Amino acid sequence: MDDWGKILEDRKNDPRWNTSYPLSPDDWKQYRVTGPLSFDADKELSFYIHIPFCERLCSFCEYTRMLCPSKGLQESYVATIEHDVASFIERYPALRLCGLDVGGGTPTVLCDDAFDRLMDLCRRTMSISDKSEDFTPSIEATFDTLTEQKIKALVASGFKRVSLGVQSTSENVLACNHRKGQGTEDMKKTISMLYENGVDIVNLDMMYGLNCQTVDSLHRDVQILAYLQPEQVTLYELRTNMIKENGHMSKEELFQSYSFLYHSLLDLGYKARFGQNTFSNKSNDIGVSSYLRNRMMNAGSYKGFGISAQSMSRNGVSYNIGKLRKSVKDLLLMKSFEEEYVYQLPHKELASKYIAIGGYNGSFSLKTLKELLGCDAKTYYSGQLDFCLSHKYIEISDDRVVVTPLGFKYYGALFSLFYA
């Protein structure tokens, strides 16, 4: 077995190797700098706004979140984001906006006043910024927090896409993961209301690998998706580094669950390449917002606002205050959610971060890697590419490295071969 084969064998069943990069902040400690992350080398970017509040805390969630605080704390949090967005736009007034996503947490859990203030901020941001042709702003929501009043507010603010978390349609699976479900007819009614009020795209998030999930529950998920008919579906694998070693599905079980869902969605008329976790009923759409499309496909730069939000430019990566804290409630009254960890990264690390992000699409661009590395990517990664091609773990289509069904079973470990 050659060296690349030995590395893959060592990593393929290790839950740490997924699409997270780096594995630990300590891996980048030599690159840490003071001061804000520079976007001087960027001409366009996307915005991401993080709302960390939830009605309940699902056991599978790996993002910074907390139970929804008082109305006053909610409004203070949104006011701080307003301040930070205004400061950034003042510093970089000529940047072109490629996307704007609001995620969490659950943005729609905000009280009406705080939500209206957030929507007004988004509307003003979209109106004063030059935008790309494919600009598709998106907001995350849950069925039980999305009222008709909030739907009208987000549409009036310019949002064209709403992503709703379902995860599973089984009450037992949801209860096992500290999550509350919604009745099928209630979900259908909300989706209809979104389209009737002017939303262009509805995405439903589903998960596989969840505690208590069974073959029967996955079959039910597919049946209800067929009834609800969202324009897009996103499949998330449970990140096994989030749970105890003895509590997660094997790689084979995860692979079989994905394969079943993939083929079932194709039977329903959705389009995607095997290994891709985003599906659309349109052939020319990869099933994501413009913010995610630019991140996954082109290593597009993005600026994150809010507690623990991540940013990436052609100079490096940063994380806002709260990223490594167990509790963030004491940060809610801060006047700025400033960057706490800023890393000025060499080309090889920027390329590695992009490859990890591309894992969600099951592919990455050699052209983009050439731009990040400053040299020919096929030459730079010749050993990894030769190994993966010879074992049929990947294919090269146009300028993209695409994971094959054989390689997808261990895609996290496979992509890690290209990390710095």
Q: Which long-range contacts (CB under 8 A, 24 or more apart) does 226-230 make?
A: 226/268, 227/184, 227/188, 228/184, 228/187, 228/188, 228/191, 228/204, 229/191, 229/281, 230/164, 230/191, 230/202, 230/203, 230/204
Place 126 in a pLDDT band, splitting at 50, 70 and 90. Answer: very high
What is the architecture of the domain spanning 1-27+364-420?
Orthogonal Bundle (1.10)
What does the pLDDT look like over 232-282, one tens digit per residue? 999 999 875 444 444 567 888 999 999 999 999 999 999 999 999 999 999
pLDDT for res 245: 45
| Window from 16-30, 166-180, 272-286, 369-383 with minimum mean pLDDT | 16-30
Q: Is the pLDDT of residue 321 over 80?
A: yes
Q: Is the pLDDT of residue 39 over 70?
A: yes
For residues 118 and 51, is the Cβ–Cβ distance under 8 A?
A: yes
Amino acid at 167: Q
**pLDDT over 90, % of the chain:** 77
pTM of the model: 0.95
For residues 250 and 12, is the Cβ–Cβ distance under 8 A?
A: no
224: closest CA among 273, 171, 293, 271? 171
Cα–Cα distance for residue pair 73/216, rounded to 1 Å: 42
Cα–Cα distance for residue pair 313/381, rounded to 1 Å: 23
Task: Please state the domain extents for the chain.
Answer: 1-27+364-420, 44-294
Q: How many CB atoms lie within 10 A of CB 83?
A: 15
CATH of the structural domain 44-294, one choice from 3.40.50.800, 3.40.50.720, 3.10.20.30, 3.80.30.20: 3.80.30.20
Between 66 and 36, the higher pLDDT residue: 36
| Window from 125-129, 188-192, 297-301, 413-417 with minimum mean pLDDT | 125-129
Tokens of 369: 């890697």
Place 19 in a pLDDT band, splitting at 50, 70 and 90. Answer: confident
11-19 average pLDDT score: 82
- Residues forming a β-bridge with 203: 163, 232
Q: Is the pLDDT of residue 392 over 70?
A: yes
Cα–Cα distance for residue pair 397/361, rounded to 1 Å: 14
127, burial (CB in 10 Å: exposed 0-12, middle 13-18, buried 19+): exposed
For residues 102 and 139, is the Cβ–Cβ distance under 8 A?
A: yes
SS (H, E, C) the chain: CCHHHHHHHHHCCCCCCCCCCCCCHHHHHHHEECCCCCCCCCCEEEEEEEECEECCCCCCCCCCCEECCCHHHHHHHHHHHHHHHHHHHHHCCCCEEEEEEEEECCHHHCCHHHHHHHHHHHHHHHHHCEECCCCCCEEEECHHHCCHHHHHHHHHHCCCEEEEEEECCCHHHHHHCCCCCCCHHHHHHHHHHHHHCCCCEEEEEEEECCCCCCHHHHHHHHHHHHHHCCCEEEEEECCHHHCCHHHCCCHHHHHHHHHHHHHHHHHCCCECCCCCCEEECCCCCCCCCHHHHHHHHHCCCEEEECCCCEEECCCEEEEECCCCCCCCHHHCCCCCCCEEEEEECCHHHHHHHHHHHHHHHCEEEHHHHHHHHCCCHHHHCHHHHHHHHHCCCEEEECCEEEECHHHHCCHHHHHHCCCC
Residues 6+ apart with CB under 8 A from 27: none
46-68 average pLDDT score: 88
What integer best gives the mean pLDDT of the chain? 92
